[in-house]
Structure formats: C-alpha cells, structure tokens
Copies of this chain bind each other. A is one copy, B any other.
Amino acid sequence: MKKLINDPEDVVSEAVAGMAVAHADLIRVETDPIFIVRADAPVAGKVGIVSGGGSGHEPMHGGLVGPGMLDAAVPGPVFTSPTPDPIVAATKAVDAGRGVLHIVKNYTGDVLNFETAADLAAAEDIEVRSVVVDDDVAVKDSLYTAGRRGVAGTVLVEKIAGAAADRGDDLDAVAAIATRVNAQVRSMGVALTACTVPHAGEPSFDLPDDEIEIGIGIHGEPGRARIPIEPADRIVDRLLEPILEDLPFESGDDVLLFVNGMGGTPLIELYIVYRRAAEVLAERGINVTRHLVGDYTTSLEMQGASITVLKLDDELTELWDAPVETAALRWGR
C-alpha cells in the first residue's frame, strides 16, 4: 500500500485538520468528537443541514460545508459510519431554533446512527427531520444496505436542500425539497480498479486486469455484472439505460447530468463519458439544462465513474443555480 498518509489511524483526523487550516474562512473543525461545521454556525433564522458518513468519499461531505449547502458534516472512519455522538454534537452546533435536517445516505449503519442521534437531539428539544438518499439503481439490497444505496445523487440533494434552507424555507419545506430531489435522481457507477482502505492495507476486492464492475457501490460493494473492459461509449450506455428506465426519464424532460469521478480516474476520461452521456440523452429528446463534471463522491483512489441524472423543474433549477460557497463547489458569491 502506497499512500500519502502517516499512521493509518490518523488519516481522518489529519485530513480534517488540513481542511480546517486551508478553509478557515469557511469552516471550523471540532475534534472531540470530530465534525466539520460552518465557521459562522449556527446561522440565525436558517434551518440547519447536517450530513455525514464514512470518510473516503471526499469532497463529500466535508468539502460541501458552507453558505448555500451544508451547515455541518460528520466524517466517520474510512468507509465506516460515524457514531451518534458526533452527529448529535453537529446537530446542536447548527441548530438556530428552526430545526435541523439530516441528509443520510442509505447504508444500514448510517441510517441507524443518524436515527439514534435524531432521537437524542429531540430529547434536547431540537427538531430534526431526516431524508434518506437512495439513488443507486444498480442493485436492491447490498453489502451494508437494505434497499438501494445512496451514492453521488446525495451531492445534488445537499446542494438543492442547502439553497432551500438559505432562502428561508422552514424545516418541513426543506425536508420536502430534499425528498423531492431524491425521488427524481438516479445514479449508477462502474469500477475499473479497487481501492485500499488505509487501516486494511489491502485492496477491498479483486478485479482482474481486463475486467470492470458495472454497478459498483462506493465502498466497492458488488454491482450488477463483472465484464471484460469495453470502449467507454458502450460502458456509458450500460450505465445510462437502467438510470433512464428507472424513473423513467422521458422525451421533453429537463435534467441535470452529473458525471462523477471515483477518485483515480483522469478528468479527461470523465469528459469522454460526459460526451457520450449527453449524446444519448439528446437522442432521446431529454434536455440537459444543467451539468456537473468532476470528483465529488469518490471511493479513495478507485478508478471509475458514475453517472447521475436529476429531473429538473423551475424550482429545482433555481435552487441549483443559487449561490454556493464551499471548498469543492462554489459559484455566484
């Protein structure tokens, strides 16, 4: 295992320490327990938004904390859910009296620990709603998950819910927007290589030199099929077909097309994927009116990509376009 790390036990604490010093204008980092919070939290008059989950998917979620998006992010150990304790602490830190939304990716550990944290926060008179994101169409029920997994669509839920909170929506309204985005977003990914969790020291799974995994999970969970490597256009078709059929997305729909890198794939390849995906959508009469291309929901150094399609309407488009200022996503301020 070759990584730019010190002791594998210190990976998360040192990385968030690096974030704290790099982005002191946007965030501060609490260390006991560990969470990342907006420098100006709690923000008066605003619903708070907290997300979190295992580390190793950066910039999600810590790089998405800031005006217009998350108020706090709770990083667990690599690929391991955070315990309820830091989730409660983050929830308290962002509550300004209008309640707090938890955005939770659908993994059994995350769901349980966020539920426990919500109960504990409620016991301290903080109103909490939770929205569970399950955008991955690859498989139903998986390693770590009952039901569908939450993957890169989570970034879109967080951006749009963040904008809703920013414009002053109340807790029910922010939760309703997040629920609506989750209902209209679908994703699927492919892995070309595995990744290595630092404290494990060995790749999470084996993938032969000439094979890829279609429908991979963001922790390397099995997908739909392991097949020989193919040209990118064919792989994109394999990912898009189940995404488009699932909602379904139809001719005349306006969508946001998001091509996400898994961490180890060059940007040049993501644009090759984007090109084909946009071509397929155009052929079907689906209008790509917004886009996102880059590494936002990663799996450490895994090579691969995922495609996410979100059906837009005027309100979601306006919320997507609203100003955001985070380490990883910023525009309009």
Interface residues of A (CB under 8 A from B): 2-7, 11-12, 14-19, 21-23, 55-56, 58-59, 63, 78, 190, 192-193, 209-210, 212, 229, 231-233, 235, 263-275, 278, 288, 291, 293, 295, 298, 300-301, 303-305, 325, 327, 330-333
Cα of A272 to Cα of B55 in the assembled complex, Å: 13
Contact check, B267 vs A59: say whether CB atoms are below 8 A apart.
yes
Cα of A2 to Cα of B78 in the assembled complex, Å: 26
The 9 A-B pairs with the shortest beta carbon distances in the complex, nearest first, are A18-B271, A18-B275, A4-B269, A58-B267, A18-B274, A15-B271, A2-B192, A264-B264, A6-B231
Cα of A11 to Cα of B14 in the assembled complex, Å: 37
Contact check, A265 vs B301: say whether CB atoms are below 8 A apart.
yes
Contacts of A78 in B (CB 8 A): 268
Contact check, A232 vs B21: say whether CB atoms are below 8 A apart.
no
Query: What would be 19 A-B contacts, judged by CB atoms less than 8 Å apart?
Result: A2-B209, A4-B192, A4-B232, A4-B270, A5-B269, A5-B272, A6-B232, A14-B275, A17-B271, A18-B271, A18-B274, A18-B275, A21-B288, A22-B291, A23-B291, A263-B264, A266-B298, A293-B327, A301-B303
Contacts of A303 in B (CB 8 A): 2, 264, 301
- Dominant SS at the A interface? mixed
Contact check, A272 vs B4: say whether CB atoms are below 8 A apart.
yes
Q: Assuming A2-B229, A266-B56, A330-B330, is B21 touching A274 (CB within 8 A)?
A: yes
Contact check, A266 vs B6: say whether CB atoms are below 8 A apart.
no
Contact check, B233 vs A266: say whether CB atoms are below 8 A apart.
no
Contact check, B273 vs A18: say whether CB atoms are below 8 A apart.
yes
Cα of A270 to Cα of B78 in the assembled complex, Å: 15
Cα of A5 to Cα of B19 in the assembled complex, Å: 33
Contact check, A300 vs B58: say whether CB atoms are below 8 A apart.
no
Contact check, A6 vs B233: say whether CB atoms are below 8 A apart.
yes
Cα of A105 to Cα of B54 in the assembled complex, Å: 40
Known: A18-B271, A265-B301, A295-B295. 6 other contacts (CB 8 A): A4-B304, A5-B269, A5-B272, A6-B272, A21-B278, A264-B303
Q: Which among B59, B232, B264, B278 is the interface contact of A301 at CB below 8 angstroms?
A: B264
Cα of A128 to Cα of B226 in the assembled complex, Å: 53
Contact check, B301 vs A266: say whether CB atoms are below 8 A apart.
yes
Contacts of A264 in B (CB 8 A): 263-264, 301, 303
Contacts of A6 in B (CB 8 A): 231-233, 272
Contact check, B58 vs A266: say whether CB atoms are below 8 A apart.
yes
Cα of A192 to Cα of B265 in the assembled complex, Å: 15
Contact check, A58 vs B268: say whether CB atoms are below 8 A apart.
yes
Q: Which among B17, B273, B278, B291 is the interface contact of A4 at CB below 8 angstroms?
A: B273
Most buried by B among A233, A268, A295: A268
Q: Assuming A268-B15, A273-B4, A298-B266, is B22 touching A293 (CB within 8 A)?
A: yes
